[in-house]
Amino acid sequence: MNTALIAWLVLLAPGWVSPAPQDDPKPADAGKPDEESTKASKPPIVVDLTLKGTLAEAPSPLGLDGSPIEKNLPTLLGKIETAAKDDEVKALVLRFRDLAVGPGKANELRRAISDFRETGKPVVALLEMAGNADYWVASAADRVVMPESGSLMLSGLAAEVTFFKGLFDKLGVQPDYLQVGEYKGAAEPYTRTEMSPEFREELTAVLSDEFDLFIESIAEGRKLDAAVARALVDDGPYTASKAVEVGLVDELAYPDQVEEHLAEALGVKEVKLDEEYGEPEPEDYSGFAGFMKLLQELSGEGTKAAESKAPKVAVIYATGVIQAGKSSPGSFLGEAVMGSDTIVEQIEKAEQDETVKAIVLRVDSPGGSALASDLMWRAIVEAEKPIVASMSDTAASGGYYISMGCDSIFAEPGTLTGSIGVVGGKFALGGLLEKVGVTTDTVRVGENGALFSPFSPFNEEQEEAVRAMMEDTYRQFVSKAAEGREMEFDALEDLAGGRVYSGRKAKELGLVDELGTLEEAVAKAKALADLGPEVEVERLVLPEPKSIFESLSEAFDGMGIRAPVLGVESVLPEPIRSVAARAEALRKLVEREPAVLLLPFEVRIR
């Protein structure tokens, strides 16, 4: 038990250590209505969920009440699935607030909405100031509603890449990067002032495919011809009234009117909008007994639920930039880290659990360390239980590397994958230091003693040595991919070269096996484990979500500490935050190893 944390809690204890409330002298049944009349007067439940932000894949830390602190994608999908099966739930309202997800997550959400609608219960999408991602998902609902003052900011897709070479030239910083694979442009934002022809070609192809998916989804949801849907998008954006006029929105209504309309449709006087649906009951920490219970939980002595003996499919969340070591939620700039040690440990844990019959690796990663990717790949191919990869928005470069070791690969139609190539190098800061009057002097023993010095660029011999290492890493990548996909080396290499593909293009080329959601990947894992569709299985989520107590304890013990930033991340504009995060990730990766497997870009729909 962490003494510093106990001391902190004791300071708060007086509020908890209070006299227990006096028993109510009234009889237990006094004024209690009978069960039938309660049911009759109880308004039907309408689940009210808000969709906003990026909706991370990884399990969120748990709060005091045992519920996730962050509303991530698995939590949201789980609530929709539970509500669909709940007879007391009669409808679903989805409020959209600046959703910023990729095509993979958008497809997962659309599929969940579709499954809910199949139960015969209505789904209402409430938009206010809606962008492309909001409408991509909302168009799957029965009705799309918007207040009169709202706007539908529907538009085409655009990719704007920020280049820093001009800034670095002024500062005296020299990005000295090499790439293996003509389409492997992960370092181009730092080494060029504009896109290379290959980078532009690749990005255009990916965006065109994602835009086609966007149009097809709108056409399907709104029951429009694809050409009509494309024309409507090209004519955007729209005011709320204009969106109703052209058929993209069903009606103008305020939130309170949505409630009235739902009550009318359900034939009742009123409905109960439940914003807390699916949340666990909060723990009672009042009084001295509650305080002691809290201390027990902090010390790890709290009562844990008995482990189920039912068959399970373990879902291992492999998310973030790949690095050696432990996983972490990332820096204040927002880049989460997938640590090879953590993922290997989770695979071993699932292997040793006799109730786990199969494993699903849920991947959302642009790649990273070649070494860490290979260590995880090894653990996957050596596993005795079936492993299925389920790709989210992104599973490219190192993200594809770990997926290709699985028994079967599922991707969303819009997943970004492939990017089989290598980038490596360093930032040479000597020129910057000279500008501010700082000089360095080096004593070198051995020809390449200063190979990775941060003060000078590679000389010709050093560049040759680094390129040789990178080319060897590239050959390993292509060879293992060819083996996993049961293709000839030359055939796989024709698809490599750093090229990025959408999920459905990757399926066409044989780089993935199936297009489908996480749910379908779990079903495949069951089948590979010889469990019939009628067999009910539980999901074991790994790594297990940490409680707020465990997170605090780690912080006090000096583990997993992140420096306080006092809201700096909220001050930086989002595009700068994203670019800075990617640059910081690349810098850290190349400090440790010469060859990196990293996606050149990411696509986030707004």
Which pair of structure tokens corresponds to residue 426? 């360093």
Q: Round to whole Å and give the CA distance between 434 and 324.
A: 34
Phi then psi for residue 189, to 5 deg, are -60, -20
Residue 81 tokens, joined: 């699935």
What are the CA-CA distances from residue 400 to residues 197, 328, 503, 572 (Å)?
A: 24, 20, 11, 31
CB-based contacts of 401: which residues, under 8 Å, 6+ apart? 367, 370, 373, 374, 377, 477, 480, 481, 597
- Please state, in angstroms and rounded to a whole number, the distance separating the CA atoms of residues 430 and 455: 4
Q: Are 316 and 343 in contact (CB under 8 A)?
A: yes
| Integer Cα distance of 25 and 48 in angstroms | 38
- H helices of 179-247, where? 188-191, 197-222, 226-234, 240-246
Cα atoms in the 13 Å half-sphere on the side-chain side of 508: 6
Q: Pairing between strand 89-99 and 45-53?
A: parallel
CA-based nearest residue to 211, from 138, 152, 150, 154: 154
* DSSP-derived pairing of the beta strands 387-396 and 416-418: parallel
* C-alpha to C-alpha distance for 13 and 288, rounded to whole angstroms: 8
Short-list 220, 157, 168, 223, CA closest to 192: 168
CA pair distance 132, 106, nearest whole angstrom: 11
- Residue 406's contacts (CB-CB under 8 Å, 6 or more residues apart) are 361, 380, 387, 388, 389
- Distance between CA atoms of 595 and 179, rounded to whole angstroms? 9
191's tokens: 């080494």
Q: What is the DSSP string of 49-95?
A: EEEEE---SSPPPB-TTSSBSS--HHHHHHHHHHHHH-TTEEEEEEE
Contact, 218 vs 139, CB < 8 A? yes
Q: Which pairs count as long-range contacts for 568-573, CB under 8 Å and 24+ apart, including other chains?
A: 568/332, 569/332, 569/333, 569/334
Q: Which two tokens stand for residue 498?
A: 């750093």
Q: Which value, in Å, is the radius of gyration of the alpha carbons in the chain? A: 27
488: left (phi over 0), alpha (psi -120 to 50) or beta: beta
Active-site residue list: 184, 397
Cα gap 223→497, rounded to integer Å: 40
Cβ-Cβ contacts under 8 Å for 71 (sequence gap 6 or more) = 50, 52, 55, 60
d(CA 12, CA 6): 10
